Amino acid sequence: MLKKQIFLIFAMVFPLLAGAATVSGKVTYTGAPTKPEPLNMAAEPTCQKEHASSPVANESVVTGPNNALANVVVYVSAGDSGQAKAPAHPVTYDQKGCQYIPHVVVVQANQDLKITNDDHFLHNIHPLPKLNTEWNKAQPAGAPPIDVKFDKEEFIPVNCNIHPWMHGYFVVLKTSHYSLTKDNGSFSLPDLPPGKYTITAWHEKYGKQTQDVTISGNETKTIDFSFKAL
Amino acid sequence: MRINRKTMFVGMIALALGSTLASGQNAGISSGYITWYDGLNLSAQRGHGLYLRYCYGCHGLQGNGKGENAPFLDPKPRDFTAATFKCRSTPTGTLPLDSDLMRTLDQGISTSGMPSWRPLGHQDHMDLIAYIKTFSQRWKTEKPGTPIKIPPETAVTMDSINHGYQVFQKLECAKCHGPGGRGDGPAADTLMDSKNQSIRPYDFAEATNSSRFKCGETNEDLYRIFMTGLDGTPMPSYADQVQPNDAWDLVHFLRTLQVNRHSKERDVLKEAGGKIAAPGG
């Protein structure tokens, strides 16, 4: 329903912009993903208590109804003319209840990433990049946000060494055309000028898939991705 | 006796290879040989020879820390291809200064397999540093960080020690190091380094009069360790979180946790009756 509304809005607005097409679709899985294990937060009693009534599960594979796959980053990996300038507004990454919120965050290269600690105890935030630079910063309770940037495109695992169940991802992209799927698995990449593009879908556990699309005018192209559950 | 020309040719190749390998083993300025290696400046070429003689057994030919001795070492040898270094004067995530790497070569890293290479001398240290920089592109594209400023040390007093204890509480150092600094905090058993190897937090009580931290032995070294963090390990940087005076107070408190090591801090504490005031008390 929502999708239809969004489409209608696009249909109304886009003819006004010269050559603005949309690539949209849905990410699903086939097979049976292993059931996510509940996280054992015994080492941090505050968090264990906080989640006692509804235990938090490992978020490396999050699915929705109708085999929808969440936390997939769908983005233009080739064909984007020129490098998009990083937007001025920062993206926030929070530590709350011994979880990273959101589990996967997307930033553009050189865009500000603001890391906050909403818990009343210490976290250390420790990204483990290969192309960007590894660092490790302590953020005790009440500490101000940590502002960082990454300049190279990369999918960076993030850990808290103190709470070993905390895992997340910083996804750094050059393009401004990206979409992060939620529980319904759908994505939309609007404002694409005519051209040939490679669209990549990335999932932290299931890897990458690509599809090529050619856009000639103001159209909406539908492409879907399907990952094999491991 | 007629020697087959082919046999002679093979023999000559074998001889040439053998002598090349031998010169590789013994190369470096100390032996007077220089190993020619494409694309390296003279210092790095000398460093290459020294590296083949002294370093590759642990750090590996590719500099990735996977030398033949690596499986038997804990902690693991440094992977130079990542250009991530524990002992730095520069902020977390930045390249160290040459003088930081020089210190590590000179002093070694205690509680690890890395010995002191002091006998090699200054020029060999410089050459080795020039060579290990060829393992990562970061040395071409980035500059070393700006060293963290360390103001002059404040006086060692009971006030400083007591306040240092409050800083220790506030920063929750005990999460890993334990309430008594014995390396037995609630997170201690699950700590992993950046190569996914199990790693123990430092046990302050284990220190004796002759022991060192991984990255030095003075109060200034201790200050630097928690400000810069030890990159590649779970020890984070507190540079954004601690003011200089608080940092010196923390240093003075941490020294009192080294119960088997003589220090000015322990003398001051002993004189005051051996008791640290609880926060607010």
* Model confidence pLDDT, tens digit, residues B166-204: 999 999 999 999 999 999 999 999 999 999 999 999 999
Left if phi > 0, otherwise alpha if psi is -120 to 50, otherwise beta: which for B280? Answer: left
Is the predicted pLDDT of residue A83 greater than 50, yes or no? yes
B23 and B111 co-located in one domain: yes
A chain contacts of residue B190, beta-carbon cutoff 8 Å? 43, 164
Shortest Cα distance, chain A CAs vs residue B201, angstroms? 11
Please check whether the two domains, A1-77+177-230 and A85-174, share a CATH topology: yes
Q: Which of residues 194-223 of B touch A (CB under 8 A)?
A: 194
User: Contact A161/B187, CB-based, under 8 Å?
Assistant: yes
* Model confidence pLDDT, tens digit, residues A137-175: 999 999 999 999 999 999 999 999 999 999 999 999 999
- Give ∠ CA B62-B68-B72 in degrees, rounded to 5: 125
User: Percent of chain A at pLDDT above 90?
Assistant: 85
Transcribe B206-275 into DSSP letters.
G--TT--BTTBSSHHHHHHHHHH--TTSS--B-TTT--HHHHHHHHHHHHHH-TTS--HHHHHHHHTTS-
Using the Cβ of B38 and the Cβ atoms of chain A, whether some distance falls under 8 Å is answered with: no
Is the predicted pLDDT of residue A7 greater than 90, yes or no? no
* pLDDT at residue number B23: 43
Domain with B101, as residue range(s), is 15-141
Report how far residue A33's alpha carbon sits from residue A72's, in angstroms, rounded to the nearest whole number.
15
User: Percent of chain B at pLDDT above 70?
Assistant: 85
**Structure confidence at residue B40 as a pLDDT band (50, 70, 90):** confident
Q: Which residue has the tokens 């002993």?
A: B270
Q: For residue A21, what are the contacts with CB-CB under 8 A and spacing of at least 6?
A: A14, A192, A193, A194, A215, A217, A218, A219, A220, A221
**Structure confidence at residue A80 as a pLDDT band (50, 70, 90):** confident
- Output the six-digit token pair for B212: 């060192």
A chain contacts of residue B192, beta-carbon cutoff 8 Å? 161, 164
Please say whether the beta carbons of B114 and B214 come within 8 A: no
Report the number of distinct structural domains present in chain B. 2
* pLDDT at residue number A2: 56
* Model confidence pLDDT, tens digit, residues B103-119: 999 999 988 899 999 99
The amino acid present at A123, given as its one-letter code, is H
B29 and B76 co-located in one domain: yes
Q: For residue A7, what are the contacts with CB-CB under 8 A and spacing of at least 6?
A: A220
B120 and B169 co-located in one domain: no
Q: Which residues of A touch B (CB under 8 A)?
A: 43-44, 121-122, 124-126, 128, 130, 133-141, 143-144, 146, 161-164
Domain A85-174 fold is Immunoglobulin-like (2.60.40)
* pLDDT at residue number A20: 85
* pLDDT at residue number B111: 83
* pLDDT at residue number B5: 62
Is the predicted pLDDT of residue A92 greater than 50, yes or no? yes
B28 and B118 co-located in one domain: yes
What CATH number is given to the structural domain containing B23? 1.10.760
The amino acid present at B218, given as its one-letter code, is T
Sign of CA dihedral A201, A206, A207, A209: negative
Using the Cβ of B166 and the Cβ atoms of chain A, whether some distance falls under 8 Å is answered with: no
B chain contacts of residue A135, beta-carbon cutoff 8 Å? 91-93, 229, 231, 237
Q: Do you know the residue count of chain A?
A: 230
* Sheet of A195-203, strands arranged across: A178-180, A73-78, A195-203, A207-215
* pLDDT at residue number A68: 98
Burial B96-105 (b: 16+ CB within 10 A, else e): bbeebbbbbb
Report how far residue A84's alpha carbon sits from residue A77's, in angstroms, rounded to the nearest whole number.
12
Please say whether the beta carbons of A22 and A188 come within 8 A: yes
Is the predicted pLDDT of residue B63 greater than 90, yes or no? yes
Domain A1-77+177-230 fold is Immunoglobulin-like (2.60.40)
**Is the peptide bond prior to A129 cis by the omega test (within 30 degrees of 0)?**
no
Nearest CA in chain B to A164: B190
User: Percent of chain B at pLDDT above 90?
Assistant: 81
* pLDDT at residue number B29: 46
* Model confidence pLDDT, tens digit, residues A8-44: 555 454 444 556 899 999 999 999 998 899 999 999 9
Specify the pTM. Answer: 0.86
Is the predicted pLDDT of residue B51 greater than 80, yes or no? yes
* Model confidence pLDDT, tens digit, residues B197-230: 999 999 999 999 988 999 999 999 999 999 999 9
Q: Are strands A123-127 and A99-101 parallel, antiparallel or unpaired?
A: unpaired
What CATH number is given to the structural domain containing B261? 1.10.760.10
Is the predicted pLDDT of residue B25 greater than 50, yes or no? no
User: Contact B229/A138, CB-based, under 8 Å?
Assistant: yes
Shortest Cα distance, chain A CAs vs residue B280, angstroms? 18
The single-letter DSSP state of residue B9 is H
How many CB atoms are located within 10 Å of the residue B196 CB?
9
